A and B are shown apart, each in its own frame.
Chain A
């Protein structure tokens, strides 16, 4: 695809501004009605999906040039997909998120990117390993877990930790707990020691070739090892693999750990018997929720019926967030005895982003942190003692945001941040302090 392929989307944008809000039917308060972190932080219309379409159109029309402002507009966005959901409340002929990704790729081709991208992508190019660590360093998190080498022996599932879980010390116990939960079900769990980055960060930055290389390499490793099922605790990794596998055809089944654990609980292979007396609220990671729905790649052409009504040949699959992974994590949490799940006002397809996505954590840390702080305040407003999620980047951003809220004396300072499976581990009788 090319930017010009989205020209019609821009021409048909009516500047309705739905992309700035959560779906209106779901608005429960003035406070938590906003949907787009980017426009909230930056205010000018250009920082909304509709505004970015106009920015792209203005470039295509030769009305403006790529300035620093354009770079800022294009990249200061988490690609969280709220705009996509809200736009498609009423539209079948627009693909805002795909268009925004195309705008980024277009600017990458021109080498007009945030400065911080250059070192990130160079490290990826050099090692194809996310943040540039050697495989041995990346695998230190797995020491002593008894993970099998999937390239050497057959396993039930291959565990793909992803860069953040592999490399961030603060997430070390979380990722180890994920493996322990799976092992507790009796599954044989392995991994591919040579695994690198999923390519998600490169894709989000707009570096498509690098993202494709990372994805292809990983799928080749799995194919060589005869892997049939891959499970990852990272919503971003799952997202990029799902998109990649959809394009490649026959590949291993890709699951998030909450999806697999949900199955294991429902199949009776995990029995949660130990009460975990906590009140928690669940944050839907963007790439597991609204952007985690089954993805069917499409190629085709626009055509018209009834004179001017726009349709596509073949029919274009509808990706609007309706079929995201919303129930599995909630079913897992509600299966935990003693645990009470309370919902934030913006949940499921209307969830406010954690702030880390779209490479914003790397390129725009202050903006990323402010976005997380907003979510922490929303979580605190529910009265929950813990904010629970299912993605490394969300958990990392939230933990830092809670610390910052505490330092600033703002709401949410007392929140615990957990992964869903950490609470499952406790419910399996493995201790941990309950709030």
Chain B
């Protein structure tokens, strides 16, 4: 049974639906970036229209967001500025992206002629200031690149949950950036120290201490402190100008300054230094889960703290990871592993588990952290999962979580995944929604249109703020984007998750962000009006009016029309 997407169309029909750019404007773009760096060929443009999650929000579950009017590859801040000014002149929209992963990095409306700015020609690491522990990067620098340079210097950076394949500027300036490292290093939205921002009108603004000519050391001054303006509630996600550089705060790495990566593709392994420990820990129930999180926070142990491997599902995850570590095996081997009594026992042992990497400044330090962890485990009734703490799996875990270079495994079961839930709060608060989230996925997958991997496919940072205090768990829901019925089941699950959350007095989670992309403006405004603090969006409207009078940015920088909340 497979739902078909077959929907005949013609190039002319698609072109007629897509907003176009005038020849004059196009020639002007060529003058700015060079003819080789701008295109309006339909096949090139569809490379930008095609986006993950589009099928969840677009008519007929199309995989294409609206086709840009042109794709543009600027190489300098000055070129970005010129393109943005041109957009103002010709009343075009501007949508920049770094590596371009998510439906909202594409144009949002068919009727809006949009310039897709692909920032990949701006990929320099501008500076690494070891003494003051910050790095300055352009938009196409990904976390893997910067981390590779930092490790040599005994430094490290927070790599957000999206993984090391993504732009640092994107997470620091324009979205949210929590991940396994955030517990120790802080999130990228906090770690951003200054930005070079091309405003929607084409002004170049340098924020924080950079704006006063004092370098990149502080986000809030001396100099213009507009971090809150630019970022808004969640980051502007391409909706309010273009960030062309940013500085991010760094952290010490503690481990070796050269990584001797071993193992066999795809399960590479990173040896564990004698000042490091890599553990997969488990607890008997969710009360103990919350308790151990608090105790880890309170005792300030740990370097990387994440619930990672459950993304493959509590029922299938252990078998999956064992399969993944054997390069000769495929998903076809998973059922036999699941049926293996030893793996079945391991599956139960790992059911409520997470990963913790300790890093010490010295052997004494790491031994102390170890003792503290042992005491905590004894107090909460937890344990180290021997199979996953064995050298092979521990080195794999170390590699996985230090680099976060396998995040695309989110899609491993069927090619499509959506994250639901992920409401962020104290462990006790998160614990409060876990049973509902587990039951909800089990219920929605029952019909076989979503991957049945166990109701608990929940993953998330040990803490989304430095030194602990708040966490969140995202339910990994796998669907087949090549099957329209499965895709629709994914949508249904997201709608169900919102209802399920409301049923236990929780706000909507991550699915709410995804679904909004397909809504009308009025539907979005209604939703914003019911947010906990709708005044934020009125404030953001004033910011938008001030910085973007020609409406060059799209609604990813969310605003509420004046009086909208009152009307509703």
The number of chain A residues touching the other chain, given as a range, is 35 or more
Residue contact B479 to A308, C-beta cutoff 8 Å: yes
Expressed in whole angstroms, the minimum distance between the Cβ of A112 and any Cβ of chain B is: 12
Measured in the bound complex, the distance between the Cα atoms of B73 and A11 in whole Å is 26
A contact residues around B409 at 8 Å (CB): 89-90
B contact residues around A323 at 8 Å (CB): 327
Within 8 A of A (CB), among B100-131: 100-101, 118, 120-121, 125
Measured in the bound complex, the distance between the Cα atoms of B9 and A14 in whole Å is 23
Residue contact A12 to B480, C-beta cutoff 8 Å: yes
Residue contact B408 to A44, C-beta cutoff 8 Å: no
From B285-293, B331-339, B468-476, B552-560, give the one contacting chain A: B331-339
From A28-36, A249-257, A264-272, give the one contacting chain B: A28-36
Tell me whether B268 is interfacial, beta carbon within 8 Å.
Answer: yes
Residue contact B408 to A89, C-beta cutoff 8 Å: yes
Measured in the bound complex, the distance between the Cα atoms of B266 and A23 in whole Å is 9
A contact residues around B479 at 8 Å (CB): 308
Measured in the bound complex, the distance between the Cα atoms of B413 and A39 in whole Å is 28
Residue contact B330 to A310, C-beta cutoff 8 Å: no
Given A17-B100, A89-B265, check contact A12 B411 (CB 8 Å).
yes
Of B11, B73, B332, B413, the contact of A308 (CB 8 Å cutoff): B413
Residue contact B330 to A67, C-beta cutoff 8 Å: no
Q: List the B residue with the shortest CB-CB distance to A93.
A: B415
Q: List the B residue with the shortest CB-CB distance to A68.
A: B41
A contact residues around B426 at 8 Å (CB): none
Q: List the B residue with the shortest CB-CB distance to A44.
A: B44
Tell me whether B406 is interfacial, beta carbon within 8 Å.
Answer: yes
Measured in the bound complex, the distance between the Cα atoms of B52 and A63 in whole Å is 18
Residue contact A15 to B100, C-beta cutoff 8 Å: yes
Tell me whether A167 is interfacial, beta carbon within 8 Å.
Answer: no
B contact residues around A321 at 8 Å (CB): 265
Residue contact A17 to B101, C-beta cutoff 8 Å: yes
Expressed in whole angstroms, the minimum distance between the Cβ of B139 and any Cβ of chain A is: 14
Of B100, B121, B164, B331, the contact of A43 (CB 8 Å cutoff): B121
Residue contact A14 to B483, C-beta cutoff 8 Å: no
Q: List the B residue with the shortest CB-CB distance to A62.
A: B9
Tell me whether B259 is interfacial, beta carbon within 8 Å.
Answer: yes
Tell me whether B278 is interfacial, beta carbon within 8 Å.
Answer: no
Residue contact B47 to A51, C-beta cutoff 8 Å: yes
Q: List the B residue with the shortest CB-CB distance to A51.
A: B47
Residue contact B415 to A12, C-beta cutoff 8 Å: yes
Measured in the bound complex, the distance between the Cα atoms of B320 and A309 in whole Å is 12
Measured in the bound complex, the distance between the Cα atoms of B481 and A27 in whole Å is 30
A contact residues around B141 at 8 Å (CB): 30
Q: List the A residue with the shortest CB-CB distance to B53.
A: A14
Of B145, B483, B486, the contact of A30 (CB 8 Å cutoff): B145
Of A21, A63, A312, the contact of B42 (CB 8 Å cutoff): A63
Tell me whether A26 is interfacial, beta carbon within 8 Å.
Answer: yes
Of A15, A27, A94, the contact of B52 (CB 8 Å cutoff): A15
Given A43-B37, A44-B118, A45-B100, check contact A57 B144 (CB 8 Å).
no
Q: List the A residue with the shortest CB-CB distance to B264.
A: A322
Of A17, A67, A89, A307, the contact of B406 (CB 8 Å cutoff): A89
B contact residues around A39 at 8 Å (CB): 120
Residue contact B39 to A306, C-beta cutoff 8 Å: no
B contact residues around A30 at 8 Å (CB): 125, 141, 145-146, 148-149
Residue contact B266 to A89, C-beta cutoff 8 Å: yes
B contact residues around A18 at 8 Å (CB): 165, 408
Expressed in whole angstroms, the minimum distance between the Cβ of B344 and any Cβ of chain A is: 15
Q: List the A residue with the shortest CB-CB distance to B263.
A: A25
B contact residues around A45 at 8 Å (CB): 44, 47-48, 71, 100, 118
Measured in the bound complex, the distance between the Cα atoms of B411 and A310 in whole Å is 11
Binary A-proximity of B299-326 (CB < 8 A = 1, otherwise 0): 0000000000000000010000000000
Binary A-proximity of B423-455 (CB < 8 A = 1, otherwise 0): 000000000000000000000010111111100
B contact residues around A93 at 8 Å (CB): 331, 414-415
Residue contact A318 to B5, C-beta cutoff 8 Å: no
Given A26-B268, A70-B43, A308-B479, check contact A12 B408 (CB 8 Å).
no
Residue contact A27 to B478, C-beta cutoff 8 Å: no
Having A24-B405, A45-B44, A323-B327, one finds 17 other A-B pairs with CB under 8 Å, namely A14-B408, A15-B50, A17-B99, A21-B142, A27-B147, A30-B146, A33-B145, A43-B118, A59-B43, A63-B42, A64-B41, A89-B266, A90-B410, A308-B448, A309-B414, A309-B451, A310-B331
The 3 closest A-B pairs by CB, nearest first: A12-B415, A24-B405, A64-B42
**B contact set with A: CB distance below 8 Å:** 5, 7-11, 14, 37, 39, 41-44, 46-48, 50-52, 63-64, 71, 73, 99-101, 118, 120-121, 125, 141-142, 144-149, 163-165, 259, 261, 264-266, 268, 270, 316, 327-335, 399, 403-416, 445, 447-453, 478-483, 486
Q: Give me 12 A-to-B residue pairs in the complex whose CB atoms sit less than 8 angstroms apart, sorted by A's number.
A: A16-B165, A21-B165, A58-B46, A64-B46, A69-B39, A89-B408, A91-B415, A305-B331, A307-B448, A308-B450, A310-B331, A323-B327
